[in-house]
């Protein structure tokens, strides 16, 4: 248990050092942006980041102090001799209680550190870069899998089925579904079916689908945001989608028509946007845009924090991978053979 605790502390310390380096890099980036753009908003953002970083450092120091105190208590417990157990039983109970309390404090500090990290992740990648990264990922996750799959399969014929994760040569029904992400061998044959590529293909597929969903969701939210602004329009011409307001002037003559147009009519309220409130995109505004932050459209984020965004995205990704794994494991007729079994049959 002590080895596990020390290993956990070492891993935590390394992660904290990496986090500190990232925070320093973010500070340098914000400082560079401040020198280039000279905006007060960036200065305020830097001050907020410094305060959060100082809070994070204080939590790390407090956690380190509590861990050292816990180790000291463990040492004191081990120093108690056997012949003093009767006299020191109360002390041992007290020390154990204090140790449990300190471990609880360490757990709480870890949760606080996790919250601080999620707050600081918001500025690790500026939003103006996320849309560029998103486009690169969309291209990178679409073309390489298709190209590699075509090259790996060769011509689309029966003689190249050995490269498919669902079939094997000279085997009726193939391997029976998706295979595990390890090299497998067809029963009664020596042809190897390496599924490591399909592991990467699944990962890229999940990323691609997530990014496409984020793009569509963001576009719908953007349109819904436009529909909510100043709706319904204060002008009757805009509200009724009429450029000209035609009225009958019955006072002068029953056959005379007059028309007028309010001065606040603009091209942005053209006929194309009339009735947009009834469209599907308008109602997308009422959906929590948790994936919207991934594409960096610069939209307002009502009641949305970086914690919920990251947690929802991670949950969706993990759930997708779990579903994929379950589908692979529960495939009908799955046959797992190893190299030793194949060699034994040969």
71 belongs to a structural domain: yes
How far apart are the C-alpha atoms of 202 and 178, rounded to whole Å?
11
- For 110, residues 6+ apart whose C-beta sits below 8 A from its C-beta are 12, 63
Last residue of a domain, one of 74, 107, 124: 124
Please give the pLDDT value at position 68: 72
Please give the pLDDT value at position 65: 73
How far apart are the C-alpha atoms of 221 and 282, rounded to whole Å?
8
Query: Is 204 found in the same domain as 158?
Result: yes
Last residue of a domain, one of 89, 124, 159: 124
89 belongs to a structural domain: yes
Query: Is 163 found in the same domain as 298?
Result: yes
269 belongs to a structural domain: no
Residues 67-102 as b or e (16 or more Cβ within 10 Å = b): beebbebbeeeeeeeeeeeeebeeeeeebeeebeeb
Query: Is 158 found in the same domain as 87?
Result: no
Q: Which two tokens stand for residue 146?
A: 């298709």
Please give the pLDDT value at position 308: 45
CA distances from 44 to 47, 51, 87, 259 (A): 5, 11, 60, 53
Query: Is 196 found in the same domain as 131?
Result: yes
Query: Is 109 found in the same domain as 23?
Result: yes
256 belongs to a structural domain: no
Query: Is 109 found in the same domain as 217?
Result: no
Query: Is 308 found in the same domain as 160?
Result: yes
Query: Is 222 found in the same domain as 78?
Result: no
Residue-number span of the structural domain to which 141 is assigned: 126-234+274-346
141 belongs to a structural domain: yes
261 belongs to a structural domain: no
- Number of domains the chain contains: 2
Query: Is 84 found in the same domain as 193?
Result: no
Tell me the chain's radius of gyration from C-alpha atoms: 32
Contact between 294 and 313 (Cβ < 8 Å) = yes
48 belongs to a structural domain: yes
Please give the pLDDT value at position 335: 37
Query: Is 195 found in the same domain as 96?
Result: no
253 belongs to a structural domain: no
Least Cα distance to 197 among 140, 139, 153 occurs for 153
> In a structure prediction context, what are the per-residue pLDDT tens digits for the chain, which is 346 residues long?
444 555 555 666 566 666 666 666 666 655 555 555 445 555 555 566 666 666 666 766 776 777 677 667 666 666 655 445 545 566 666 666 666 776 667 666 666 666 655 555 554 544 445 455 555 655 555 555 555 555 544 444 444 444 444 445 455 444 444 444 445 555 555 555 555 555 565 566 666 666 666 666 555 555 544 544 454 444 444 444 444 444 555 555 555 555 455 544 444 444 444 444 455 554 544 444 444 444 443 334 333 444 444 445 555 555 555 555 555 444 333 333 333 444 444 4
Please give the pLDDT value at position 287: 43
Query: Is 207 found in the same domain as 102?
Result: no
Last residue of a domain, one of 124, 157, 188: 124
Query: How many other C-beta atoms are found inside a 10 Å radius of the C-beta of residue 24?
Result: 11
Query: Is 96 found in the same domain as 72?
Result: yes
DSSP for 68-112, written as a single string: HHHHHHHHHHHHS-GGGTTTTHHHHHHHHHHHHHHHHHHHHHHHH
């Amino acid at each position: 248990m002590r080895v596990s605790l020390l290993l956990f502390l070492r891993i935590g310390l390394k992660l904290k050092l990496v986090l500190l380096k990232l925070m320093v890099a973010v500070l340098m980036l914000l400082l560079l942006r401040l020198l280039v753009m000279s905006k007060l908003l960036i200065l305020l953002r830097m001050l907020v980041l410094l305060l959060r970083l100082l809070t994070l450092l204080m939590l790390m120091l407090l956690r380190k102090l509590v861990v050292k105190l816990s180790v000291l208590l463990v040492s004191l417990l081990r120093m108690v001799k056997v012949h003093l157990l009767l006299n020191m039983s109360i002390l041992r109970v007290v020390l154990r209680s204090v140790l449990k309390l300190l471990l609880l404090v360490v757990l709480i500090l870890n949760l606080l550190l996790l919250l601080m990290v999620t707050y600081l992740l918001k500025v690790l990648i500026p939003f103006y870069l996320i849309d560029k990264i998103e486009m690169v990922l969309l291209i990178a996750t679409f073309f390489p899998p298709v190209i590699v799959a075509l090259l790996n399969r060769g011509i689309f014929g029966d003689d190249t089925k050995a490269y498919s994760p669902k079939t094997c040569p000279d085997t009726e029904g193939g391997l029976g579904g998706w295979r595990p992400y390890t090299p497998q061998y067809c029963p009664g044959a020596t042809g190897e079916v390496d599924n490591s590529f399909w592991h990467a293909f699944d990962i890229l597929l999940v990323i691609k689908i997530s990014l496409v969903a984020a793009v569509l969701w963001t576009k719908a939210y953007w349109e819904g945001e436009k529909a909510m602004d100043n709706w319904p329009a204060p002008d009757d011409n805009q509200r009724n989608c009429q450029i000209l307001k035609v009225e009958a002037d019955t006072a002068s003559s029953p056959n005379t028509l007059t028309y007028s147009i309010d001065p606040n009519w603009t091209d942005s309220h053209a006929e194309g946007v009339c009735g947009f409130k009834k469209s599907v995109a308008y109602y997308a505004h009422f959906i929590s845009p948790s994936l919207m932050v991934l594409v960096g459209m610069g939209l307002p984020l009502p009641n949305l924090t970086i914690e919920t965004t990251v947690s929802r995205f991670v949950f969706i990704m993990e759930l997708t991978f779990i579903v994929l794994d379950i589908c692979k494991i529960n495939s009908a007729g799955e046959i797992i053979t190893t190299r030793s079994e194949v060699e034994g049959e040969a």
